[in-house]
A = this chain, B = another copy of it.
Amino acid sequence: MDSKTAIRIALDVMGGDHGPDVILAGADIALERHPDIQFSLFGREADVRPILERFPRVAERSTFRHCDVAIRMDDKPSQALRQGRNKSSMWLAIEAVKTGEAQVAVSAGNTGALMAMAKFCLRTMANIERPAIAAIWPTIRGESIVLDVGATIGADAQQLLDLSVMGAAMARALFHIERPTVGLLNIGVEEIKGQDEIREAGRLLKEGEIPNLDYRGFVEGTDLGKGTVDVVVTEGFTGNIALKTAEGTARQIASYLRAAMTRTWLARLGYILAKSAFDRLRDKMDPRKVNGGVFLGLNGVVIKSHGSSDAEGTAAAIDVAYAMAANGLLTKIETDLSEVYARMAVSSANVPPQAQDEAVS
């Protein structure tokens, strides 16, 4: 996509813990960075209009559509679908992607409901059975992509291959790397190294010689923070545990640091002198800076912003949405997947007849 063309982002203004205020403030920050964004806003008119007046820049670049229903943060997915289909701000934001009105949708609403609606409205891509959520993971080297972080529990070898291809396409779109490095998350004990499906996925990735990714083998939990590879692939249960364990560890260390720096007057003085360094550290560790889980495997791109995001966090999620749309993530995934599946069809057609017999027996 030509970056000169405006990017239209569908925004669920009612999602998140803090409501329209924070969402629109975030949109305003994002517009400052990307003046070519246009928004399709969805929300309750009585709530949104008065706030929108405070953000004239956003108002000027937006269309607004009223909707009666707002999905609550504790609505169950089935409940949300029942009550919110065709009429909630969340649904309408997703539908704007389906109709082509917008290139990407952003919501800070609850993950389960958003995923259920996105699946129902957009459907999974050809060859993809189950969607994934990709997280942008801060590392010592910069950033990596980790997926799946919780959309789907369990994955067979083929699904791990699909995740690898989709994650690599996202890395190409986000980091502008031609052949992102990919690793499969595994444990390091020899001989019991990994479940069968991970070993089999490793074989497929190695032998597949997939043009748009550079498979580097197994990686361990410690490699996540190191940034050993651009894309770390795992099924959704383990990915979710890893993501939340890292978040928890970061918070734990921040709490140790706070306690240490306020314990003595010398430490407090040192803290004051080194304040800019601490601010820099806080910045590095700031979860708002890497906000935005990307739903992959659907016929449209949806970005999940953290429910607790403030305006900065919301802007970061909109930045990710912008990058995904401007760099044609969906087309990249579609092209890469169809190429991989075409290759696999050819290579299985090329198996000599006796080998096919053996496989059957």
Contact = CB atoms under 8 A, between A and B. Distances in A.
A66 to B, nearest CB: 28
A247 B270 contact: no
Interface in A263-280: 263-264, 266-267, 269-278, 280
A112 interface: yes
Given A249-B250, A250-B249, A285-B253, A187 B276 contact: no
A154 interface: yes
Contact of A189 (B112, B256, B269): B112
A269 B273 CA distance: 7
Given A194-B153, A246-B245, A250-B249, A266 B274 contact: yes
Contact of A260 (B138, B221, B267, B280): B280
Interface stretch (A27-35, A235-243, A325-333, A336-344): A235-243
Interface string A248-259: 111111011100
B247 A245 contact: no
Given A273-B267, A280-B260, A250 B253 contact: yes
Contact of A224 (B237, B248, B261): B248
A150 B220 CA distance: 12
Contact of A112 (B77, B138, B191): B191
Interface in A103-123: 110-112, 115
Contact of A191 (B78, B224, B244, B266): B78
A275 B139 CA distance: 26
Given A195-B153, A270-B273, A284-B256, A221 B250 contact: no
Interface string A280-298: 1100110000000000000
B225 A111 contact: no
A187 B150 contact: yes
B244 A220 contact: yes
Contacts of A192: 112, 152-153
Contacts of A284: 256, 260
Contacts of A240: 187-189, 221
B255 A140 contact: yes
A244 B263 contact: no
A185 interface: yes
The 7 closest A-B pairs by CB, nearest first: A221-B244, A270-B274, A270-B273, A225-B252, A267-B277, A225-B248, A222-B248
20 contacts: A112-B190, A140-B256, A150-B189, A152-B192, A154-B195, A188-B244, A220-B244, A221-B242, A222-B247, A224-B249, A226-B252, A245-B249, A246-B248, A249-B250, A249-B253, A256-B285, A257-B281, A263-B280, A269-B274, A271-B277
